[in-house]
Structure 1
Amino acid sequence: MVKAVSKKTMPPRPDPAEDEEDRAGAAPFRSYALDRSDSPRFHIRLVENTQRLYPAHKHDYFQILYFLSDAPAIRIGLTSHKPKAGSIYFVAPMVPHQIRFDYATRCVVAYFDLDFLRPGITRSYPVAELVRLAPELTLFAWQNHVNFDLDAAQATRVERAIGSMIDQHQSERIGAMEIVRAEMTLMLATLCQDYEADFAELSRTLPVVGRDSGHMRRIAEFIGENYTRGPSLDEAAAAARLSKSRLCALIRQYTGTSFQVLIREMRIEDARERLLLTDDTIGQIAYRVGYNDEKYFLRAFKSSAGMTPSAYRLKRAKEADGAAPTAILPR
C-alpha cells in the first residue's frame, strides 16, 4: 500500500465538483511501488524472465511501460491493448490498470511523481490545465485514443534515452538524477511532437481532455474489480455515481461497446491470459473468470477466439516455443 502524499504532489483532478465527490468517496488503492519518503519518487527497471499476472490496481504516480518484446494483453482503464516490441504506454495517476508478464516478456517500467519531473509545480491542477503547464505530460491524457506503437527511428531514440536513465539511476555520480530528469523530459516532449497532429485531430472530435476522467476512473475501477462476478448495471451506476443511461453513454463513447459486452470481453481476455500464464485446468479458469457453467464458458470462449480453450493454449504454447529472441536493450 502506498502512503498518501502531500497536496502538492497529488494527481490532477478533472474539475472542482469531481474533486469534492472523490474526497467524499475516497478509498484505499493498491500499488506496486516503493513508499514515498521526503523526496519525489523515481524508479526505472528492466523486467524480464518473470511471469506475473497483476490484478487491477492504481497508484498516485505517473507510470511508463515500454515493451521490447510481444507480451500478454494489458488493460488501461477500460481499454485492452496487445503490446508488441516498440509499444509504449502512459498510465496517469489513479487510472486503474491490469498488467501481465510472461517469461518471454521484456519490458522497461518507469514511474515518477509529478514533482520529480516538475519541481516547480506545487499544487494539483485539472488535467487540461496540467498539460498546458507541463505539455510533455499530454501523452498520458490521450493514452487510450492514440496508438503509441513506435517506428524503428522512434524506438531507437527511446531505447537510447532509457539506457541512459537506467545507467544514471544506478550510479552515484554527481548530477545523475538531473540527467535522468532531463532525459525523461526530452523523451516525453519529443514523443509529444511526434504525435502532435494526432492530438490536434482528436481535440476536434473528442471531449475536452479530462472532462470525464473522474467518471471514467470510477467506472474502470468498479468494473476492473468486479467483472468476474458479473456486476449489474445498477451496481455499476451506483458505484460511479451516475445514472444508468449516462454510464452506458460514457462506456459506449470511450470503448465503442456496451456494458454487458465489455464485461464478457474482459472475462474472455482474462481467460486467454490465464491459459498462457498458469497451469490451471479449463474448469478452474472458467470459475476464476466468472463462469459457473464450464460448458457455457467453452461456448463463449470458442465464439470469441474461434477455437476451444485447449486448442488456444496449445497453439500459443507452440508460438512461444518458436519465437525468436529479442534484441538487447542498448546501454
Structure 2
Amino acid sequence: MGKELGSLALDPRTGNLVIPAGESKFALGVGLWDDTVATYQRFVQHELSSAEKHGTVSTRGSRPGDETVLRVKVQIVLRPDNTYNPNAISVAAPPEHAGTDIERHLGYMYDRNLVSVGGPLRGLVSVSDRPVCCHAFIGLTAPFEEQLEDELGSDSLRVQDANGTVYWAAPPRLMLPWWEDLQAVVVAYSRQRRPDRILPFVGHWASWNPGAREELVRRTEEKSFAITLRADGNSLAACYEDIRLAELMPSSPDFFDHTMQRVRELGGTATAHAEEHQGALKVFVESHAPLMSPDNSTMT
C-alpha cells in the first residue's frame, strides 16, 4: 500500500483511496440484481485471471467442492439517483476497469448495514478527491456434482480458471472495519481534508423556525443540502445561506454537545449536512452521545 492518510492508504498503482480491511468473519453482503449479473461475471472472470497470474487465489479446505477465495477491491459509490433510497450505496468495479461508475455497478449494499456504516462511507466519499475503494472477497465453488450444479443456479454467475475448472461465483462480501473503527478512520481523514466539516453519521429531527421552511423552498428545490452551523450562546443555529432554519440545543435528549464543542473549536462555524423529509428538517452530525465529565458522569 502507498502513502498513509490516517488509517487509509493510497494505492500507488491506481491512485484509489483504500479503506483498511476488517475481519472476514464480519464481512457485509452485497445484493446483486438481474441487470448487474453480466457485469459482475465479467468482473469476477477478470479478477480470477489476474489473481492466477499473481498466485493470489486461495482455497479453504482440500476436498473437491471446497470454496476458493478470490480477494478483490471494489469501489464505494454514492447513488442519490436511486429512486427507492437516495442514500443508497453502490458497489462497483474499481475505476481501472472500463466504463463509468454506473456502467461498472455490481450491486447495492443492504439498507440494514447502512444504518451503521452508511454515514461514515458517505462522509468519506464526500470529502475525498479520489475514488474510494474497500477490500472484499468472493467465494468460488466448483460444482463437481450435477446436483450441486442445479443448486448453484444461473450459468451467468459461472467463471472458469486457466485449467478449465468451472466455478460458481458468490456475491462479493465487503471487508469493512467495525463501524466504530470505520468512523474513527473517516474522522481522522476528514480532519486533514476538510477540518470545517461535521460528518453525517447521525440524523436528528429539528423544529423549523417560523417561516424558515417556506423561505428555503424559495431558494432551492434540493431535498438534501449543506448547511452552516453557528455557535450562538448556548445553542447552535442551523443556517442555509442567511436563513436561520432551526435551533439545536445541547444537553437535550438529542445531545448536540460534541457538535457544539467542535463548532467552537473551529471558531464558531462549521459545515454540516441536512435534508428535508416529509416536511421536517433532519440535521446530520457526528455524535449524539453526551459529553462526560472527568468522573464519567453526564455533563449538564
Q: Tell me, yes or no, whether TM beats 0.5.
A: no
What TM-score, normalized by structure 2, do the two folds share?
A: 0.26
Which has the larger helix fraction?
A: 1
Larger Rg: 2
More strand by share: 2
- TM-score (norm. length: structure 1): 0.24
